[in-house]
């Protein structure tokens, strides 16, 4: 299971600058440190009962010049392997998650090039709770080399689209724990070394309701069965009572370039009571060959006066009939300037 985060891990730097005027120089930066512990406390498979004490550090910055051209970067440090036994901050390494240039096109569009995050889905940002986006993170597009564009339509929404491929440059390595350099020979959908992959997504709002619909094509890599095709639809609503609800469905053919068709569903509800947010998540991943993974979770988060957030959650994960009970706790420290 990938380590989840309970808050959005920093919006893309180009998006931060999209609405900024292009007539003045500016520098935007922000960061987040998460320290947490995830533990399978009960499982019918004794080897599953392991603890992972971890830290995730993310720092983002963007500088825009007076002519509307700018640079952006995100640096991330975390454990770079999945836990297979009890561990504390093991295999910890740092890598460049984003790095590139952006420039404004008129007053409503931004084009970005470099190492980027193409837009496809948003469950990892729009869900509350420690385990809110855990399964959906399987299809998040990260660390891609490409060209992306975001176009805002007044009052109508934002269209995001781009072409890209999985990073196979020296930036795919890490320092501290070296995860090695990605190569095209490693295969995998989208790992082609060519701009033959694309994603497109429309995001809009109607009052307190927001929605998205997106599609992607990832070309088959070395040894893959076929190209991956994906669709995603999401919708959320914020009620005056303090209740927020969000749902996302993603459907894939030849997921990851394999023989598997896959369906992911995430349903999340959060209710704010002062500085406390209570949330619940139901999620499912269904792949042809590896079967179903079902997750049900209850979580609570408390925001301290200094902006720090303390969270905890209990989850039940049913992985093809193996039912694990998981507890997660974390402390999140945001900062910026």
Measure the CA–CA gap between 70 and 21, rounded to whole angstroms: 12
Burial of 296 (0-12, 13-18, 19+ CB in 10 A): middle
Tell me, yes or no, whether 3 lies in a domain.
no
Query: Running DSSP on this structure, what letter comes out for residue 2?
Result: P
Q: Kindly report the CATH number assigned to the domain that includes residue 29.
A: 2.40.160.10
For residue 313, give its domain range. 13-336
- The Cβ-side half-sphere exposure at 127, using a 13 Å CA radius, reads 29
Give me the number of domains the chain comprises. Answer: 1
Predicted pLDDT at 4: 37
Predicted pLDDT at 22: 43
Tell me, yes or no, whether 326 lies in a domain.
yes
Predicted pLDDT at 1: 39
Tell me, yes or no, whether 1 lies in a domain.
no
pLDDT digits (tens), the chain, 337 positions: 333 332 233 334 344 444 444 447 889 999 999 999 999 999 999 999 999 999 999 999 999 997 889 999 999 999 999 999 999 999 999 999 999 999 999 889 999 999 999 999 999 999 999 999 999 999 999 999 999 999 999 888 999 999 999 999 999 999 999 999 999 999 999 999 999 999 999 999 999 999 999 999 999 999 999 999 999 999 999 999 999 999 999 999 999 999 999 999 999 999 999 999 999 999 999 999 989 999 999 999 999 999 999 999 999 999 999 999 999 999 999 998 6
Tell me, yes or no, whether 155 lies in a domain.
yes
Tell me, yes or no, whether 4 lies in a domain.
no
Measure the CA–CA gap between 63 and 321, rounded to whole angstroms: 50
Measure the CA–CA gap between 297 and 311, rounded to whole angstroms: 13
Predicted pLDDT at 337: 62
Tell me, yes or no, whether 6 lies in a domain.
no
Predicted pLDDT at 203: 98
Q: Is 326 within 8 Å of 38 (Cβ atoms)?
A: yes
Phi-psi region of 168 (alpha: psi -120 to 50; beta: other; left: phi over 0): alpha
Token pair, residue 195, equals 């701009």
Tell me, yes or no, whether 309 lies in a domain.
yes
Measure the CA–CA gap between 121 and 201, rounded to whole angstroms: 8
Closest-CA residue to 150 (of 115, 114, 105)? 105
Query: Running DSSP on this structure, what letter comes out for residue 138?
Result: G
Q: Is pTM, for the whole model, over 0.85? A: yes
Tell me, yes or no, whether 239 lies in a domain.
yes
């Amino acid at each position: 299971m990938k380590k989840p985060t309970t808050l959005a891990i920093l919006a893309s730097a180009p998006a931060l600058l999209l609405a900024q005027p292009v007539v003045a120089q500016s520098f935007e930066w922000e960061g987040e440190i998460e320290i947490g512990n995830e533990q399978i406390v009960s499982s019918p498979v004794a080897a599953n009962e392991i603890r992972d004490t971890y830290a995730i550090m993310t720092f983002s910055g963007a500088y825009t010049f007076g002519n509307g051209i700018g640079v952006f970067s995100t640096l991330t440090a975390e454990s770079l392997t999945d836990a297979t036994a009890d561990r504390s901050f093991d295999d910890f390494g740092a890598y460049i998650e984003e790095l590139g240039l952006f420039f404004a096109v008129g007053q409503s569009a931004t084009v970005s090039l470099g190492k980027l995050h193409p837009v496809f889905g948003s469950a990892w940002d729009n869900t509350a709770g420690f385990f809110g986006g855990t399964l959906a993170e399987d299809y998040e597009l990260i660390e891609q080399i490409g060209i992306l564009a975001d176009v805002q339509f007044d009052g109508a929404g934002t269209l995001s689209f781009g072409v890209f491929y999985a990073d196979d440059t020296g930036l795919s390595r890490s320092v501290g724990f070296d995860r090695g350099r990605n190569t095209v020979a490693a295969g995998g959908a989208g790992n082609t070394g060519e701009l033959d992959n694309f994603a497109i997504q429309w995001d809009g709002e109607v009052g307190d309701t927001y929605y998205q619909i997106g599609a992607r094509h990832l070309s088959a890599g070395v040894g893959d069965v076929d190209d991956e095709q994906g669709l995603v639809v999401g919708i959320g609503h914020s009620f005056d009572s303090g209740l927020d609800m969000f749902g996302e469905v993603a459907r894939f053919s030849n997921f990851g370039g394999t023989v598997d068709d896959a369906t992911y569903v995430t349903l999340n509800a959060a209710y704010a009571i002062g500085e406390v947010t209570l949330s619940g998540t139901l999620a499912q991943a269904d792949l042809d060959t590896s079967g179903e993974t079902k997750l049900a979770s209850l979580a609570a988060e408390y925001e301290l006066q200094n902006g720090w957030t303390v969270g905890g959650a209990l989850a039940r994960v049913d992985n093809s009939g193996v039912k694990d009970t998981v507890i997660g706790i974390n402390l999140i420290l945001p900062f910026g300037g």
